[in-house]
């Protein structure tokens, strides 16, 4: 048996005579189930998209993200604000290391609290 990749490898796996017929049947059954599940989710997603498209468009315009450039700029500014907020707290690392007697919250909990 040669080792192929891609679709040819899958076809050889399903058509391989060395594999037990029951396992081959299970392979093909699982692939049919996977394909049908993907198609159903694609159909459901398209139906949901059609029903909420107007609400999403109205929300994007109301939040100032009605164009790709505005949305990209707002995302960059939001990320930059979060980075700046987290990095300014790094300048006070000596307080978190040597100020153990004044605070009872562990450093790791304080760090995760700042991320929220």
| Residue range 10-30, pLDDT digits in tens | 777 667 767 788 888 888 899
Average pLDDT, the chain: 76
Query: What's the pLDDT at 76?
Result: 86
Query: What's the pLDDT at 101?
Result: 55
The CA-to-CA distance between both ends of the chain, in Å, stands at 55
The sign one gets for the Cα dihedral 16, 20, 24, 25 is: positive
Choice between 54 and 92, residue whose per-residue pLDDT is larger: 54
CA separation for the pair 55, 87 (Å, rounded): 37
Task: Say if residue 77 is exposed, middle or buried (CB neighbours under 10 Å; 0-12, 13-18, 19+).
Answer: exposed
pTM over 0.85, yes/no: no
Query: What's the pLDDT at 92?
Result: 64
């Amino acid at each position: 048996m040669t080792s192929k990749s891609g679709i040819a490898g899958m076809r050889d796996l399903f058509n391989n005579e060395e594999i037990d017929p029951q396992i081959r049947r299970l392979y093909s059954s699982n692939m049919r189930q996977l394909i049908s599940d993907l198609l159903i989710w694609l159909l459901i997603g398209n139906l949901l998209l059609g029903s909420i498209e107007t609400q999403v468009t109205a929300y994007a315009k109301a939040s100032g993200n009605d164009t790709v450039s505005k949305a990209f700029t707002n995302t960059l500014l939001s990320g930059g604000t979060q980075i700046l907020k987290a990095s300014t707290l790094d300048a006070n690392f000596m307080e978190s290391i040597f100020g153990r007697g004044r605070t009872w919250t562990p450093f790791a909990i304080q760090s995760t609290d700042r991320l929220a």
